[in-house]
Amino acid sequence: MAYPDDLLSSGEHVVTHKHPHWKMLFFPVFWLLVVVVLGSYLAGLVGDLSWATIAWGVLAVVSLALVVGLTVVPLARWRTTHLVITTDRVIYREGVVKRTGLDIPLTRVHSVRFEQSFADRMLGCGTLIIESASDAPIPIDDVPSVEKVHTLLYREMNDNPEDDFQQRTVDGRA
């Protein structure tokens, strides 16, 4: 899903748009399977009881609550988390009910680095750490292809001749 063009400035273009790595979905899928298997087993156990209809109703309500809490909510959180690098800024948005966002102009980014554990390297993800002019380092976890994203961001920071010209003009060197 492309980042909405109406949220970009004029002349700004998306360089890359990422959702968190699929590893964030491992436990939600695991819990979905556990709830389905356990719910089916328990439904089979209460099938011979005289109050089976009530038990199935309670089991269905509890199972639905577990599926929503352990699977649907994390899936929605994953789907609504965006890391977008444009020609002008880094955009990070997350949240379903409470939406939070962070925009860092590329001219304010001082350095960018990444960290990967052994498991992250095996899965092809990692943590992107952005250091801006006045803030503490900002870690963005579970970025897929973090090395490529790091390289893209570094290139956008350093390959924008318009920003270099504007900076030289401000410094009085042009």
As a whole number, mean pLDDT of residues 153-167 equals 67
Judged against a pLDDT cut of 70, whether residue 9 lies above it is answered with yes
Phi, psi of 103 (to 5 degrees): -120, 130
Residue type, 160: N
As a whole number, mean pLDDT of residues 47-71 equals 90
Residue whose pair of structure tokens reads 């809490």 in the numeric block: 69
Q: pTM of the entire structure?
A: 0.78
Within 10 angstroms of residue 17's Cβ, the number of other Cβ atoms is 14
Give the confidence band of 2 by pLDDT, cuts at 50, 70, 90: low
Least confident of 82-86, 138-142, 155-159: 155-159
DSSP 35: H
As a whole number, mean pLDDT of residues 109-128 equals 94
- What pLDDT, in 10s, does the model give residues 23-42? 999 999 999 999 999 999 99
Residue 92 CB contacts under 8 Å (≥ 6 apart), including other chains: 82, 83, 84, 101, 102, 103, 138, 140
User: Which option is the CATH number for 13-19+83-171: 2.30.29.30, 3.10.129.10, 3.90.220.20, 3.40.50.720?
Assistant: 2.30.29.30
Residue whose pair of structure tokens reads 């680095």 in the numeric block: 113
- What pLDDT, in 10s, does the model give residues 83-115? 999 999 999 999 888 999 999 999 888 889 999
What pLDDT is attached to residue 1?
Answer: 52
